[in-house]
């Protein structure tokens, strides 16, 4: 659009950008800058705090690549997704987790939607508030997905509302979540993780930080030798650890990661009536071979409706996918909040108000 407002103060938004040939939408206020790649999954690849020059979204070593300029060397569903994975924050729906068979269709890692271009329309553009709506119609699954992102003046809160509609004339399963990855240089061994009380379990996936099959409560887990692990802390990269665990029965939907050296942190608040599980993906210099090659330091703290690929909880035979009736629509709102602290967080409200320790 040729005649957008081009404010240099207050809230501002523009969809006139491209990054490495990919259409990109930039939202900005006095505190934050948020960049979203419409042509690749509506991925949030930048969420930066201006005052401390802190970028919270982790980037993979290969970062943003224009997939139209290359051909995958194989059709492996896990590899194709990781080849295109930039880090940052994706809306994952209607499938999440490893490759799976969905109603006779092959779906690769996570969801087809993150590999697709999304439409983007600016729906609000004032000095007080800016809003953009992204939308996509999936191909191998029967869903229409909308993602609305808003930023208000002088606010440290980014509001994201997802809406999923089953366009099939039959029931359709879904696993739906927020795939958020934080990493270095924001994430360091001096950082602290806080969250609402929750139960915790470790699926048997062969990690090396946590004991497979362990069931406990936040914030204590066990390592493979049966020793206590404090989940509020992050081990150094030199420990070469990688693992995956899940929180459930969280009393309230929020978590926070604080970097006391920078005096800044990232928090997320989300509805636990929709997102019943919090996946915790951990790569502290571990993960040999493709795709990490022991070179990354990052975590994913990901609210989800379901367990990976909708599998049952340990000890149960009941799948965890949610069911959409024909034509059914569901929405959920999450809020990312940036705050200044050197001590940590005791609570984040649904509106993104942060209470420090």
- Checking if the pLDDT of 231 tops 60, the result is yes
Q: Which three-class secondary structure string do you get for 308-328? A: HHHCCCCCCCCCCCEEECCCC
Q: Which CATH class is domain 12-356?
A: mainly beta
Query: Is it the case that residue 47 has pLDDT exceeding 60?
Result: yes
pLDDT score, position 284: 98
Dump pLDDT digits (tens) for 74-83.
Answer: 888 899 999 9
Strands 215-217 and 277-284: unpaired
CB 348, CB 355: distance < 8 Å: yes
Give residue 1's pLDDT band: very low, low, confident or very high (50, 70, 90): low
Chain position carrying tokens 């071979």? 289
CA 153: distance to chain centroid?
A: 24
Q: Which of 323, 279, 267, 269 is nearest to 303 (CA)?
A: 279
pLDDT at 59 over 70: yes
Position 39 pLDDT exceeds 70:
yes
Domain boundaries, given as residue ranges, for the chain: 12-356
Confidence of residue 294 (pLDDT cuts 50, 70, 90): very high
What is the radius of gyration, based on Cα positions, of the chain?
20
Q: Is the pLDDT assigned to residue 52 strictly greater than 70?
A: yes
pLDDT of 64 higher than 60: yes
The token pair that represents 110 in the structure block: 């996570």
Distance of CA 224 to the CA centre of its chain: 27
Share of the chain above pLDDT 70, in %: 99
**Looking at residues 33-41, what average pLDDT do you find?**
98
- Per-residue confidence (pLDDT) for residue 2, from 0 to 100: 65
HEC letters along 239-299: HCEEEEEEEECCCCCEEEEEECCCCEEEEEECCCCCCCEEEEEEEEECCCCCCCCCCCEEE
Q: What is the mean pLDDT of residues 9-32?
A: 96
Q: What is the pLDDT of residue 77?
A: 87
> If 0-12 CB within 10 Å is exposed, 13-18 middle and 19+ buried, where does residue 66 land?
middle
Q: Render pLDDT for 233-282 as a digit per residue (tens, 0 to 9).
A: 999 999 999 999 999 999 999 999 999 999 999 999 999 999 999 999 99
Burial 267-291 (b: 16+ CB within 10 A, else e): bbbbebebbbbbbbbbbbbbbeeeb
Tell me: pLDDT of 4 over 80. no
Q: What is the predicted pLDDT for the residue at 105?
A: 95
pLDDT in tens, 249-261: 999 999 999 999 9
CA angle at residue 302 from 297 to 305, to 5 degrees?
160
């Amino acid at each position: 659009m040729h005649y957008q407002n081009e404010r240099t103060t207050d809230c501002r938004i523009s969809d006139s950008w491209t990054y490495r040939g990919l259409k990109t939408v930039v939202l900005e206020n006095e505190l934050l800058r948020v960049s979203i790649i419409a042509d690749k999954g509506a991925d949030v690849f930048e969420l930066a705090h201006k005052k401390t020059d802190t970028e919270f979204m982790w980037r993979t070593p290969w970062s943003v690549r224009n997939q139209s300029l290359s051909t995958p060397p194989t059709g492996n569903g896990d590899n194709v997704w990781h080849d295109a994975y930039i880090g940052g924050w994706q809306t994952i729906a209607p499938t999440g987790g490893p490759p799976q068979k969905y109603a006779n269709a092959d779906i690769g890692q996570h969801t087809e939607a993150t590999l697709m271009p999304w439409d983007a329309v600016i729906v609000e553009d004032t000095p007080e508030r800016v809003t953009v709506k992204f939308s996509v119609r999936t191909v191998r699954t029967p869903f229409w997905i909308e993602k609305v992102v808003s930023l208000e003046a002088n606010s440290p809160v980014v509001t994201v509302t997802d809406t999923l509609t089953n366009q099939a004339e039959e029931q359709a399963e879904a696993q739906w979540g927020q795939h958020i990855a934080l990493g270095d240089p924001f994430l360091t061994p001096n950082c602290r993780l806080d969250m609402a009380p929750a139960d915790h379990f470790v699926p048997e996936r062969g990690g090396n930080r946590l004991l497979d099959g362990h069931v406990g409560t936040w914030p204590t887990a066990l390592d493979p030798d049966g020793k206590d692990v404090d989940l509020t802390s992050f081990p150094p990269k030199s420990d070469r650890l990688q693992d995956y665990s899940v929180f459930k029965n969280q009393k309230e939907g929020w978590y926070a990661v604080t970097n006391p050296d920078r005096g800044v942190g990232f928090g997320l608040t989300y509805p636990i009536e929709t997102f019943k599980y919090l996946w915790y993906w951990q790569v502290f210099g571990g993960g040999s071979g493709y795709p990490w090659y022991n070179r990354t330091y990052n975590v994913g703290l990901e609210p989800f409706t379901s367990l990976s690929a909708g599998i049952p909880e340990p000890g149960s035979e009941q799948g965890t996918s949610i069911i959409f009736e024909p034509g059914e629509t569901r929405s959920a709102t999450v809020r990312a909040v940036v705050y200044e602290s050197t001590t940590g967080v005791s609570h984040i409200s649904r509106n993104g108000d942060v209470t420090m320790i």
